[in-house]
Structure 1
Amino acid sequence: MPFIVSHGRKIYYERHGQGPALLFCHGAGSNAATWWQQLPVFAREFSCLAMDLRCFGRSVAPLDEFEFALFVDDALAVLDAEHVERAVVIGQSLGGMVGVRLALQHAPRLSAFVACDTSLTIDHPALLDAMAWRVTRVQALSVEQRSLGRWFIEQHPDRAALYAQINHFNPSAHTYDSDAWGAAVTGLMAPRNLLPLAALAGIDCPTLFVVGSEDPLVPIEAMQAFAQQVPGSELRVVEGAGHSAYFEKPVEFNENVLAFLRRHLLR
């Protein structure tokens, strides 16, 4: 699978299928491999690009490059390398934070936006409370405990272990200092990065919000507030899922997202 060079770093991505372009952007607990339950399904109808964000997986970079401006430029570089003028960005957690910046700053490049279990770095009380909880608990919990619902870990220990193994391919698991990594992740919601809720009204493409009913980091009420700001947007709640609905409930997640894409891209 190919690499492109963006701001002096090799950025990994892979491509599957043919059709309208989708760009999958993962969260802070994973990398491109995490979409294994989506790519074979979506590739039947779409051209699927899945990238390792900078500082994750095979996109190796120092932690001082863990910043939104570079994430956004890297995503655009992947689209440019594949000669994709417009794509649907499907972003989970951190990937959604990257996606909202693409939607607001590079609107002509997006045909639609799917925001999954993501705070979007919006200045919202419920999200800031959840982030404060994360900061106090992050060192005490494993990556799967932070990212997956408790019921999923108990009922699907094999898939929970696979999630953890995917994360172990990230430099955060073996290269970065744990305190520095924790500071980088929690810094995503630092005041300098926060966007006002009203900014979402500037999203000018079809938008779908997806959230797990048991997500401890992104409460449903926050996603509802997001959807109210984006004209014509849709909200789907995946019952029983935690912070990683795409991984925990892939059938329900895929059905919801595919239905949305078919309505807006294949009609």
Structure 2
Amino acid sequence: MILWRGAILSQPLRFACRKVRYFHTSVMAASHQTMVNGTLLNFEVVGNGEKVVLCLPGALGTTQSDFGPQLKGLCPDKFKIVAWDPPGYGKSRPPPRNYTTDFLHRDAVLAASLMKNLGHEKYSLLGWSDGGITALILAAGFPQHVEKMVVWGGNAYIHEGDLKMYEAVRDIDKWSARMRAPLEAAYGREYFKTAWEGWVDTFLAIYNEKGGDICKGDLHKITCPTLIIHGAKDPMVGIEHAQYLKENIKDSMLTVMEEGKHNLHLRYAKEFNEMVTDFLLKEGSKLASL
């Protein structure tokens, strides 16, 4: 069963998205660096609101590349937004990213420790792609701290059909110049190439060594209300992954953006921010009360 604003749906809610012009606010994010469990972490904070939200970016993602429209667009009077660069990404360097088959579990522990060090006992999560996986693991491992969660573009497992996607994107020389440019600018070509190939090879290892299980066993431990968003045109993550999350997270709902791709929160920032704001500010612990 899928719930959305009090309606019981037999299928995920779908809606069309229009391309919008995004207007920046005057609110500026303050950037900081700190050591957490011996790891250098860069993070940004914006807003003074009562609701604390941690933003978790995707592969090679940073605070600004992955959450710029949210840092600028979510109401600073309602939210206090914390966004981090995962270890080895963005300004959370050196050292370089250390990929192992449990690297997202390590990220979840580090992110929870960061929030504890910042004095945030209760917070919600926004997780995109790899950051969505990190959010799932964090919510499962630290349920006492997570109030609500929004995830999109993430997956709890890898199936055989996913392997073609990983293999297709591994060689950055086959990418268009437009796709390579921002990551080469952020990291330099050599680091970008090494880190990206390491990321792909790690997910292939998860499939070969762990049967594709990323965090399936964590899902039943999640107790917070969870909004799962999926872009119907996402070329990276199929809808079956979003549906699996919906079926295995007990207090969750799924909505599908008809025109959304993997970066739906960037391309359709206005609609996304409105949806997230509505979800995070609703009172009550159960989605059935929405």
Aligned-pair CA distance for 1:234: 1.4
Aligned residues: 247
Aligned-pair CA distance for 1:75: 0.5
1:213-224 paired onto structure 2 within 5 Å = 213-224=232-243
**Could you say if the C-alpha distance between residues 71 and 217 of structure 1 is closer, same or farther in structure 2, counting changes exceeding 3 Å?**
same
Say which is worse superposed, 15-24 or 37-46, in terms of deviation. Answer: 37-46
Say which is worse superposed, 190-199 or 13-22, in terms of deviation. Answer: 190-199
1:157-172 paired onto structure 2 within 5 Å = 166-168=182-184, 170-171=186-187
SS across alignment from 1:64: coil
SS across alignment from 1:68: helix
Counterpart contact for 1:26–1:92, Cα < 8 Å: yes
Structure 1: runs of 5 or more not aligned: 146-159
Letter in 2 for 1:167: L
Tell me what 2:15 maps to.
none
Q: Determine which of 257, 266, 272 is the counterpart of 1:247.
A: 266
TM-score (norm 1): 0.80
Q: Determine which of 13, 27, 34 is the counterpart of 2:43.
A: 13
Q: Deviations over 1:75-114 (max 9, x none)?
A: 1232023200011111001001111111111111111111
Counterpart contact for 1:238–1:252, Cα < 8 Å: no
Tell me what 1:64 maps to.
98
**Could you say if the C-alpha distance between residues 58 and 183 of structure 1 is closer, same or farther in structure 2, counting changes exceeding 3 Å?**
same
Counterpart contact for 1:214–1:243, Cα < 8 Å: yes
Tell me what 2:20 maps to.
none
Is residue 102 from structure 1 mapped to residue 134 from structure 2 by the alignment? Answer: no
Letter in 2 for 1:51: W
Tell me what 1:150 maps to.
none
Whole-Å Cα distance in 2 between the matches of residues 36 and 138 of structure 1? 24
Whole-Å Cα distance in 2 between the matches of residues 77 and 167 of structure 1? 28
Aligned-pair CA distance for 1:134: 1.7
Is residue 112 from structure 1 mapped to residue 148 from structure 2 by the alignment? Answer: yes
Q: Determine which of 68, 80, 85 is the counterpart of 1:47.
A: 80
Counterpart contact for 2:149–2:225, Cα < 8 Å: yes
**Could you say if the C-alpha distance between residues 12 and 198 of structure 1 is closer, same or farther in structure 2, counting changes exceeding 3 Å?**
closer
Tell me what 2:226 maps to.
207
Whole-Å Cα distance in 2 between the matches of residues 186 and 170 of structure 1? 25
The structure with the largest helix share of the pair is 1
1:94-243 paired onto structure 2 within 5 Å = 94-119=130-155, 121-122=156-157, 127-139=158-170, 166-168=182-184, 170-171=186-187, 173-175=189-191, 177=194, 179-184=197-202, 186-187=204-205, 191-192=209-210, 194-195=213-214, 197=216, 199-243=218-262
Aligned-pair CA distance for 1:196: 6.6
Root-mean-square deviation (CA), in Å? 2.9
Letter in 2 for 1:63: R
TM-score (norm 2): 0.74
Counterpart contact for 1:97–1:118, Cα < 8 Å: yes
Whole-Å Cα distance in 1 between the matches of residues 119 and 206 of structure 2? 30
Aligned-pair CA distance for 1:252: 2.0
Counterpart contact for 1:12–1:52, Cα < 8 Å: yes
Q: Determine which of 49, 67, 83 is the counterpart of 1:35.
A: 67
Letter in 1 for 2:89: F
Aligned-pair CA distance for 1:222: 2.4
Whole-Å Cα distance in 1 between the matches of residues 284 and 53 of structure 2? 11
Whole-Å Cα distance in 2 between the matches of residues 130 and 74 of structure 1? 31
Structure 2: runs of 5 or more not aligned: 1-30
Counterpart contact for 1:16–1:43, Cα < 8 Å: no
Counterpart contact for 1:86–1:109, Cα < 8 Å: yes
Counterpart contact for 2:123–2:145, Cα < 8 Å: yes
